[in-house]
Chain A
Amino acid sequence: MKRLIAICLALVLVFSLAACTKGGGGTDAKKGSVYFLNFKPEADEAWQAIAKSYTEQTGVQVKIVTAASGEYDKTLAAELDKDAAPTMFRVGNVGAVETYGDYCYDLKGSKFEGELTTDAYNLYDANGKLCSIGYCYECYGIIVNKALLKQAGYELSDIKDFASLKKVADDIHARAAELGFDAFTSAGLDGSSSWRFSGHLANMPLYYEFRDDGVKEQPATIKGTYLDLFKNIWDLYITDSATTGAAVVTATGDESEAEFYEGKAAFYQNGSWEYASLTEKGMKAEDLAMIPIYCGAEGEEKAGLCCGTENCWAVNATASKADIEATLDFMYWMVTSEEGTKMMAEQFGPCPFKKAATPENVFFAQANDYTAAGNYVVTWAFNWTPAVDDWRAGVVDALAQYTAKGGSWDKVKEAFVDGWATLYAKDHA
């Protein structure tokens, strides 16, 4: 009797294991399937829903896996190693093209590419292969709480350049106790916030330098011609704010956001992606506005918002032909169907496709207004940063030393200029 039970148990074990291995390959192999590695945790829910709906309509399996925040690159490296690798993933900047370019399917001439309204957000490798296509763009600048600005006796139109921004900010800061709010939210250099400055703010000197020099591809060295502009605006952030000195070093992104939606500060440097979060926290859309980051550049009263993207889709070239086809079809459906375009507009804002839906996000309307008024778009020059995490880390550290201990600005310049050259050389060794 005991032996019988043992045999039965053993059989159960074997069959359940066999069932496990079979379960994965249950889909119709001829039809192909989609596996998208998503890098935006906040959009995961919407992705899962739309994948389910697509499967119901077409019968094509769509698997969406979301990498944990900040873990995208590690997850991608591990997933590409598997037999069932992602068929669709994000390749968002030149560094990623260098690493994953070999795995990118040439999207030139695809049906999906035909739907684009601009080539501006696409990424090519050194041989001119279209590695990834920008599927949405974002913009950033200084978000203004118009209601607070009014309370302080100013209008949005009073701010036209760095001098006027400084005048308004200085005045608000001086009257902070009486007004009950300060000019800028904390310019925290904690990891959750520092990218706003080492990435986004640092774009200002990079953009103007590259524009002067007509730079069209990743440069091996930079000069830091416009670092003074960076200093101008950084000094303003750390002076006209409730958070100064060493407190800046440890302040987090959440703190800064909270100061803004709680009405403790009138200006908050961040991007269009903050819209959903700010309105959810109770801010009114009509109180929100975004102005360009004025830092003292010549002719900056004609500047627009900083628009660009790191959101680009690539298709895995090593996937089977059927899977590639299925993936391209899915991407095409995402940017042409009513359901797809609606989800894209809700989650990602404006998308550069012919049939894209209009997002309700007011920041994008403003970006368009600036462009319509003939202002120049400040593009995302920082997408060319070599070894981006290391470079930014160096800049953040130098900024921290400068801010907390009254260190020298030369260190920032060193991290900025020498750091670029060093890391470029290391990347291309």
Chain B
Amino acid sequence: MHLTALNSKLIRRPIQRYVWLFLLPTFAAFCIGFLYPFFKGFYLSFCKFRITKDATFTGFENYKSIFHDTSFLHAFWYTALFAAVSLIFINVFAFIIAYFLTQGIKGANLFRTVFFMPNLIGGIVLGYIWSMIFDGILIRYNTAVTLETKYGFWGLIILICWQQIGYMMIIYIAGLQAIPEDMMEAAEIDGASKWQKLWKITIPNMMPSFTICTFLSLTNGFKLYDQNLALTNGRPYIQEGGTVIKTTQMLALNIVDSFYSSLTNRGPGQAKAVVFFILVAGISIAQLTFTRRKEVQQ
């Protein structure tokens, strides 16, 4: 059908009249699956409750208590550090691999597939597999990944890089291939070196890819849960100032943990979840506006 035909009233009218019918299923699903739980969760964060239908409103009590919770603060800084380090590693390696795989190496397609594959494995499985690999090596030195915080941290970095580099690499490859040939040709004729072409043409043209990749790896880093659970589950623990601190526990795990480990009030866990939402949303919006500004319009 020709485009102008779509604009004809005969076709537009019936579509316009029934637009609600097409929107309804998705909108209903959105309300049931997202809006309702979200607002209920928000309300519950101001309540004392064990079972959500018997909640009593207590105002800001839960929020007050979580900022005195050293395990939460520890998890926050640990997660922030993890997100920053993983962001750098994932993107640097993904870009380098993508760059080399678009240079016309033999078997590039095979490499792409292989690098992408880890992404298809679930987080829990990955966590267990890697814990076996790490422990298999560390046991030679009479230690294990759950015995030292630094092993847990770098172990998780290795795991997450292995899992996500392939995914980001695909995005970078798409970005690299979208760079207009004529620009490259013009640069070559002007006598630009390889290095100059990379910095002056490739990278500025790829800013949209950087935006999306940094966004994904940053939010993934903050939201990480199953890999963390399966690899160390927060071990090793230390006792400090009256609380047990799980030294390799990240935010998401801390939230679930405090929700279920509390006998009498699950409100603080819920309050943590709300703070977590605001935090992740805030950071990603800030990061998006920052990188968007660097994007060039073609």
Contact = CB atoms under 8 A, between A and B. Distances in A.
B138 A415 contact: no
Contacts of B51: 77, 80-81, 103
A378 B143 CA distance: 35
A405 B138 CA distance: 12
A8 B295 CA distance: 52
A105 to B, nearest CB: 16
A419 interface: yes
B142 A246 contact: yes
A196 B54 CA distance: 36
Interface stretch (B98-106, B213-221, B229-237): B229-237
B233 A422 contact: no
A249 B262 CA distance: 27
B139 A397 contact: no
Contacts of A426: 242-243
Interface string A398-419: 0011001100000000110011
Interface in B208-264: 233-237, 239, 242-244, 246, 260-264
A95 B260 CA distance: 12
A390 B239 contact: no
A246 B143 contact: yes
A291 to B, nearest CB: 31
Interface residues of A, number: 36
Nearest to A393: B237
A258 interface: no
B239 A415 contact: yes
B52 A394 contact: no
A155 interface: no
Contacts of A393: 234-235, 237, 244, 246
Most buried by B among A73, A80, A246, A422: A246
A427 to B, nearest CB: 5
Given A250-B139, A400-B147, A390 B244 contact: yes
Contacts of A387: 261, 263
A104 B138 CA distance: 49
A245 interface: yes
Interface string A70-83: 00011001001100
Given A393-B237, A419-B239, A98 B263 contact: yes
B53 interface: yes
A390 B261 contact: yes
A393 B257 CA distance: 12
Interface in A79-95: 80-81, 95
A374 interface: no
A389 interface: yes
A191 interface: yes
Contact of B243 (A247, A404, A422): A422
A159 interface: no
B138 A397 contact: no
A400 B233 contact: no
Q: Tell me if B's interface is mostly helix, strand, loop or mixed.
A: loop
B179 interface: no
A419 B245 CA distance: 11
A7 to B, nearest CB: 14
Contacts of A401: 147, 236
A425 B53 CA distance: 27
Interface string A138-162: 0000000000000000000000000
Contacts of B146: 249-250, 397, 400
A397 B131 CA distance: 16
B244 A419 contact: yes
Most buried by A among B51, B234, B246: B51
A224 to B, nearest CB: 14
A250 B261 CA distance: 24
B239 A394 contact: yes
A81 B53 contact: yes
Contact of A98 (B52, B234, B242, B264): B264
Contact of A247 (B139, B239, B244, B246): B139
B50 interface: yes
A127 interface: no
Given A250-B144, A394-B244, A400 B50 contact: no
A99 interface: yes
Nearest to B141: A246
Contacts of B260: 73-74, 77
A285 interface: no
B239 A427 contact: no
Contacts of B233: 191
Given A77-B50, A404-B142, A405-B142, A397 B261 contact: no
A411 B210 CA distance: 47
Contacts of B53: 81
B239 A250 contact: no
Contact of A405 (B147, B234, B244, B264): B147
Contacts of B50: 77, 99-100, 102
Contacts of A422: 239, 242-244
Q: Which 6 pairs, one residue from A and one from B, show the smallest C-beta to C-beta distance? A: A397-B237, A249-B144, A246-B142, A99-B263, A98-B263, A250-B135
Given A95-B263, A249-B146, A405-B143, 19 more contacts: A73-B260, A102-B50, A191-B233, A246-B142, A246-B143, A247-B139, A249-B144, A250-B135, A387-B263, A393-B237, A394-B239, A397-B235, A400-B236, A404-B147, A405-B142, A419-B244, A423-B244, A426-B243, A427-B262
Interface of A: 73-74, 77, 80-81, 95, 98-100, 102-103, 191, 245-247, 249-250, 387, 389-390, 393-394, 397, 400-401, 404-405, 414-415, 418-419, 422-423, 425-427
27 contacts: A74-B260, A77-B50, A81-B52, A81-B53, A95-B263, A98-B263, A98-B264, A99-B263, A102-B54, A103-B51, A191-B233, A249-B144, A249-B146, A390-B244, A393-B234, A393-B235, A393-B237, A394-B239, A394-B244, A397-B237, A400-B144, A400-B236, A401-B236, A404-B142, A404-B143, A415-B237, A419-B244
